[in-house]
């Protein structure tokens, strides 16, 4: 069966629903279809709070039918392939959907298979992830009796690069409250060379690291997880200038200080060029990748992500296709806040093409935002652009927040109460936020 629509939107996540809603609000007589197979729409930014038992998982979920804009044709089906030369896509059930204009916003997929052993270890026992099962994260935290608490992330792009840190700061708070902190060593292992790429935010986070007495291990690339023996395996992203860990031959003074910050002596097994950190609990962001139907399509770049212009979000080859959100090959953090700034750019172009409207020439500057929770009741808000400039929203001053690079309880209120409200009642309905 074949059906043609003027505009087809792939994805019922933040990007897809926002785009369809705004088109309906700002356009006239548009024939819009949304393709989304899921029954449920999730507000994923709250999963960090769910993992720390300070937000209800049920409140993060709503039926897809409730957020799907009235006035669009909803195809509750998977996309299997693109035929951009014919301006059409094929669905899993065999239907061919033709379009005049296409917006691709299906998000990304969890890809634990990219780390050896992770598929089997994921969400089992003391291995947990807010990205996949935040309720299991809380089970692990509340049952933790002390030892090595390891927090880590992969080398792939991930949703909200600060999320693997947030749960660590909350967990450390919880360990203090539950009385196990004194016999716990908290480690954060990252492939990066800094704690965060925006300097004012990094400065604050390093002070949090100091206050919470956390060992950060930089240049650590996760390559394997042995769930049975509770070992996370790493290779180093740089040649060490000194020792990586202490042993019979090396003291703390011998350590490469660019690799180890606030070193803690935990059990590490060395096997060739791999370092295996033994853990008593592990929280990680799993590797993440573009959806397979995008990665294998003519729309993808060499790494499998949707190949779009960084400023217009239009596909670099096909003039009537745009990309939004996590699937887009953009050198900025993959967050809902980024989508909030991306959607108006795409809407501007679509309305100019479909309504003979004046093209306003809106450009996307790489804006993204990461609400970095640093403890129960505390948060830092990282807002930045492609150049990693710190770009705080002037509206924060109305909340009496004058420096969002510093921890503030009002930012916690923003994260826990205000942002969810704005998401469900403004963003998804196509209203300006």
Output the pLDDT for position 405: 97
74 plus 38 within the same structural domain: yes
27 assigned to some structural domain: yes
- State the DSSP code for 285: P
Residue 166 domain boundaries: 112-284
Output the pLDDT for position 285: 98
26 plus 43 within the same structural domain: yes
132 plus 249 within the same structural domain: yes
**Quick check: 432 pLDDT over 90?**
no
423 assigned to some structural domain: no
59 assigned to some structural domain: yes
Residue after which a domain boundary falls, among 311, 346, 363: 363
Contact call for residues 17 and 111 (beta carbons, < 8 A): no
**What tokens does 184 get?**
């716990």
Tell me the pLDDT band of 3, cut-offs 50, 70 and 90. confident
Output the pLDDT for position 1: 59
Across 59-66, average pLDDT: 98
CA 375, 378, 383, 389 torsion: positive or negative? Answer: negative
**Quick check: 2 pLDDT over 80?**
no
33 plus 152 within the same structural domain: no
Residue 160 annotated as catalytic: yes
- What's the CA gap between 217 and 186, in Å, rounded? 11
**Quick check: 195 pLDDT over 70?**
yes
**Quick check: 385 pLDDT over 80?**
yes
220 plus 180 within the same structural domain: yes
Tens of pLDDT along 213-224? 999 999 999 999
- How far does CA 235 lie from the centroid of its chain? 23
132 plus 198 within the same structural domain: yes
CATH number reported for the structural domain that contains residue 12 in this entry: 3.50.50.60
Q: Which of 158, 160, 243, 427 is catalytic?
A: 160
19 plus 47 within the same structural domain: yes
238 assigned to some structural domain: yes
Across 395-404, average pLDDT: 93
Tens of pLDDT along 17-56? 999 999 999 999 999 999 999 999 999 999 999 999 999 9
**What tokens does 245 get?**
């860990």
**What tokens does 393 get?**
């929203």
270 plus 142 within the same structural domain: yes
Across 192-202, average pLDDT: 97
Q: What is the DSSP string of 406-425?
A: S-BHHHHHIIIIIHHHHHHH
Output the pLDDT for position 357: 84
100 assigned to some structural domain: yes
**Quick check: 90 pLDDT over 80?**
yes
391 assigned to some structural domain: no
Q: Is 56 left (phi over 0), alpha (psi -120 to 50) or beta?
A: beta
85 plus 140 within the same structural domain: no
Stronger pLDDT, 432 or 68, i.e. the higher one: 68
130 plus 243 within the same structural domain: yes
Output the pLDDT for position 391: 96
Q: What is the mean pLDDT of the chain?
A: 97
Q: Which of 18, 329, 370, 382 is catalytic?
A: 370
Closest CA to 167 of 154, 150, 179, 182: 150
120-133 exposure pattern, b = at least 16 Cβ within 10 A, e = fewer: ebbbeebbbbbbbb
| Count of structural domains within the chain | 2
- What's the CA gap between 187 and 65, in Å, rounded? 42
Output the pLDDT for position 18: 98
- What's the CA gap between 263 and 339, in Å, rounded? 38
Q: Is 230 left (phi over 0), alpha (psi -120 to 50) or beta?
A: left
Tell me the pLDDT band of 276, cut-offs 50, 70 and 90. very high
51 plus 158 within the same structural domain: no
418 assigned to some structural domain: no
Contact call for residues 336 and 301 (beta carbons, < 8 A): no
Across 419-428, average pLDDT: 97
Strand ranges in 39-118 using DSSP code E only, listed in sequence order? 40-42, 61-63, 73-75, 79-83, 88-91, 96-104, 109-110
Phi and psi (nearest 5°) for 18? -60, -45
% of the chain residues with pLDDT over 70: 100
**Quick check: 433 pLDDT over 90?**
no
Residue after which a domain boundary falls, among 363, 383, 409: 363
Contact call for residues 327 and 306 (beta carbons, < 8 A): yes
Closest CA to 339 of 22, 29, 34: 22
Residue after which a domain boundary falls, among 332, 363, 394: 363
Type and span of the H or E element at 384: strand 378-384
237 plus 104 within the same structural domain: no
Type and span of the H or E element at 166: helix 163-178
426 assigned to some structural domain: no
Across 313-340, average pLDDT: 97
């Amino acid at each position: 069966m074949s059906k043609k629509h003027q505009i087809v939107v792939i994805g019922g996540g933040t990007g897809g629903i926002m785009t369809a809603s705004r088109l309906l609000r700002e356009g006239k007589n548009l024939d819009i279809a949304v393709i989304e197979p899921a029954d449920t729409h999730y507000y994923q930014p709250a999963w960090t709070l769910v993992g720390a038992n300070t937000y209800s998982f049920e409140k993060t979920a709503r039926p897809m039918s409730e957020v799907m804009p009235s006035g669009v044709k909803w195809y509750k089906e998977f996309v299997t392939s693109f035929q951009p030369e014919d301006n059409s896509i094929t669905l899993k059930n065999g239907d061919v959907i033709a379009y005049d204009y296409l917006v691709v916003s299906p998000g990304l997929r969890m890809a634990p298979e990219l780390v050896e052993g992770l598929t089997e270890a994921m969400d089992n026992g003391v291995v947990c992830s807010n990205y996949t099962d935040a309720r299991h994260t809380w089970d692990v935290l509340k049952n933790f009796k002390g030892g090595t608490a390891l927090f880590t992330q992969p080398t792939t792009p991930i949703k909200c690069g600060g999320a693997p840190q947030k749960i660590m700061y909350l967990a450390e708070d919880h360990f203090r409250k539950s009385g196990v902190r004194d016999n716990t060593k908290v480690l954060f292992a990252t492939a990066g060379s800094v704690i965060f790429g925006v300097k004012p935010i990094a400065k604050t986070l390093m002070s949090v690291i100091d206050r919470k007495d956390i060992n950060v291990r930089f240049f650590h690339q996760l390559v394997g997880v042995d769930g049975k023996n509770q070992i996370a395996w790493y290779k180093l992203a740089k040649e060490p200038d000194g020792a990586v860990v202490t042993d019979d031959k090396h003291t703390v003074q011998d350590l490469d200080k660019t690799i180890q910050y606030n070193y803690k002596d935990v059990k590490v097994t060395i096997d060739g060029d791999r370092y295996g950190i033994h853990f008593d609990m592990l929280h990680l962001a799993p590797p993440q990748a573009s959806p397979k139907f995008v990665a294998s399509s003519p729309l993808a770049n060499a790494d499998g992500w949707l190949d779009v212009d960084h400023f217009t979000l239009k596909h670099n080859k096909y003039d009537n296709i745009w990309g939004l959100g996590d699937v887009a090959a953009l050198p900025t953090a993959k967050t809902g806040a980024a989508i909030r700034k991306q959607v108006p750019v795409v809407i501007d172009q679509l309305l100019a093409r479909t309504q003979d409207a004046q093209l306003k020439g809106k450009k996307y500057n790489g804006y993204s935002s990461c609400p970095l929770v640093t403890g129960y009741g505390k948060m830092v808000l990282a807002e930045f652009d492609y150049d990693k400039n710190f770009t705080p929203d002037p509206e924060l001053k109305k909340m009496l927040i004058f420096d969002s690079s510093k921890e503030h309880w009002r930012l916690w209120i923003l994260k826990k109460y205000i942002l969810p409200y704005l998401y469900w009642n403004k963003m998804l309905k196509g209203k300006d936020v």
